[in-house]
């Protein structure tokens, strides 16, 4: 049964929490030329890992709030999102795209209204700010960090979720009118295409990024990796964020100051109470002991790992300053003409930094090349 939530901005809002209602919603959504989309998810705030909690999707007159916990398979929706003939309107889509890809969906034909706002050089491009500036509509974002895992969702959460999509068609239309007047449609199209290509960064070395890990020896880093994996296993079993089971700084300290006494384990601040029992203590001690024994067998050094080799392209500090002073006026000239937010796409600060370090300037974006290349044609010689 489809549960009607109410109306918002002229849209009928419906909460979908069973397969039959989902099929009916898909039948309607399949007819649309463009869809507004947003996802509510929990990223290690209340539960372990990245969890899809709600999907908001709106065609021209209906907003469907799809409950993924109650729907057997979302593949029919993924098929629509992957259809290049259907425009998918998001605002600030990067995290949504990464989550969709993780779930097996490859979004195509995206129009990100935040990118459009940046192309037009709006200063603050959050959804709430754009709605306030362009439509004088106040969007309450207080439910953004609420626990979307809990069922039933309260009426205020559903209202908040619907608000994230029922205005997107109008926002898209307003921004595109301005963009076409400035002849910058190709900017938006290329930036949105590049957005579709983003991929999750390699997570295999995340333990080396923990605060304090940079002061560990190679031996200690080996032990930290085993304790990091041990913590992940606990977090999965408890369905809790890993850092709430054993905080990051505590994990690093356990490498530096191994615990061998049960009373010390019980008195360690920050450990989740559910793991302060004797069984979890024994698991920890065994993991720690085996890690140190294995590190010894592998002859891993009790020395800090060598610093990464200095890239060949790096220049002296004086030369870097000279190169930076040469290229920076180009960026400032572009900012004067197009505005800083637009130039952050057109000629980002990273290109200035790369050139200062000794790299050649590469303008890879097709829309940017005819604008920027005349200004830098002598820089790589």
pLDDT recorded at residue 381: 64
267 and 180 inside one domain: no
Nearest Cα neighbor of 358 from 321, 308, 309 is 321
Q: What is the pLDDT of residues 281-302, one digit of tens each?
A: 999 999 999 999 999 999 999 9
154 and 56 inside one domain: yes
28 and 145 inside one domain: yes
pLDDT recorded at residue 310: 67
Q: What is the pLDDT of residues 347-363, one digit of tens each?
A: 999 999 999 998 999 99
pLDDT recorded at residue 1: 45
22 and 102 inside one domain: yes
Note whether residue 227 is domain-resident: yes
**Which structural domain, as residue segments, surrounds residue 262?**
206-297
pLDDT recorded at residue 380: 75
Note whether residue 93 is domain-resident: yes
Give the whole-angstrom CA distance, residue 44 versus residue 161.
Answer: 20
CATH number at residue 8: 3.30.420.10
Q: What is the pLDDT of residues 220-244, one digit of tens each?
A: 999 999 999 999 999 999 999 999 9
Note whether residue 355 is domain-resident: yes
Note whether residue 304 is domain-resident: no
Question: Structure pTM?
Answer: 0.92
CB 164 within 8 A of CB 114: no
Q: What is the pLDDT of residues 51-62, one digit of tens each?
A: 999 999 999 999
Is the confidence at residue 142, as pLDDT, over 90? no
CATH number at residue 272: 1.10.150
pLDDT recorded at residue 301: 94
Q: What is the pLDDT of residues 1-29, one digit of tens each?
A: 457 679 999 999 999 999 999 999 999 99
Is the confidence at residue 182, as pLDDT, over 50? yes
219 and 326 inside one domain: no
Answer with the one of 245, 269, 297 that is the final residue of a domain: 297
200: left (phi over 0), alpha (psi -120 to 50) or beta: beta
Query: How many structural domains is the chain composed of?
Result: 3
33 and 77 inside one domain: yes
Is the confidence at residue 253, as pLDDT, over 50? yes
Give the whole-angstrom CA distance, residue 128 versus residue 117.
Answer: 12
Note whether residue 312 is domain-resident: no
65 and 46 inside one domain: yes
pLDDT recorded at residue 371: 96
Q: What is the DSSP string of 153-178?
A: PPHHHHHHHHHHHHTHHHHHHHHHHH
Note whether residue 308 is domain-resident: no
72 and 169 inside one domain: yes
| Both tokens assigned to 360 | 């050649």
370 and 347 inside one domain: yes
pLDDT recorded at residue 144: 86
Is the confidence at residue 276, as pLDDT, over 80? yes
pLDDT recorded at residue 141: 83
Answer with the one of 297, 328, 354 that is the final residue of a domain: 297
Of 279 and 145, more confident = 279
Q: What is the CA radius of gyration of the chain?
A: 26
Answer with the one of 169, 196, 223 that is the final residue of a domain: 196
Is the confidence at residue 209, as pLDDT, over 90? yes
């Amino acid at each position: 049964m489809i549960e009607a939530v109410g109306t918002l901005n002229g849209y009928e809002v419906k909460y979908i929490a069973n397969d039959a209602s989902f099929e009916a919603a898909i039948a309607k959504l399949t007819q649309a030329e463009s869809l507004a989309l947003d996802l509510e998810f929990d990223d290690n705030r209340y539960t372990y890992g990245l969890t899809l909690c709600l999907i908001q999707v709106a065609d021209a007159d209906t907003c469907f709030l799809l409950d993924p916990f109650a729907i057997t398979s979302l593949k029919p929706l993924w098929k629509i999102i992957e259809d290049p003939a259907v425009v998918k309107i998001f605002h600030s889509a990067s995290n949504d795209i990464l989550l969709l890809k993780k779930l097996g969906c490859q979004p195509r034909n995206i129009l990100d209204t935040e990118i459009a706002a940046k192309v037009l050089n709006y200063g603050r491009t959050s959804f709430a700010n754009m709605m306030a500036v362009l439509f004088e509509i106040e969007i309450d974002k207080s439910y953004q960090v609420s626990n979307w895992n809990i069922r039933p969702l309260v009426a205020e959460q559903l209202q908040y979720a619907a608000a994230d999509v029922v205005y997107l068609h109008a926002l898209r239309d307003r921004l595109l009118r301005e963009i076409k007047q400035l002849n910058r449609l190709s900017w938006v199209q290329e930036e949105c295409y590049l957005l579709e290509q983003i991929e999750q960064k390699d997570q295999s070395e995340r333990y080396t990024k923990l605060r304090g890990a940079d002061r560990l020896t190679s031996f200690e880093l080996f032990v930290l990796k085993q304790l990091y994996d041990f913590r992940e296993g606990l977090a999965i079993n408890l369905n809790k964020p890993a850092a709430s089971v054993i905080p990051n700084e505590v994990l690093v300290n356990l490498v530096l100051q191994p615990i061998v006494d049960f009373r010390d384990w019980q008195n360690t601040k920050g450990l989740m109470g559910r793991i302060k029992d004797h069984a979890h203590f024994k698991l920890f001690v065994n993991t720690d002991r085996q890690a140190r024994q294995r590190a010894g067998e592998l002859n891993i050094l009790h020395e800090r790992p060598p610093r990464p080799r200095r890239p060949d392209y790096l220049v002296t500090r004086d030369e870097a300053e000279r190169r930076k002073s040469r290229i920076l006026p180009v960026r400032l000239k572009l900012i004067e003409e197009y505005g800083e937010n637009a130039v952050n796409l057109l000629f980002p600060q990273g290109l200035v930094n790369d050139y200062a370090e000794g790299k050649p300037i590469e303008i890879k974006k097709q829309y940017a090349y005819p604008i920027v290349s005349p200004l830098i044609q002598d820089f790589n010689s």
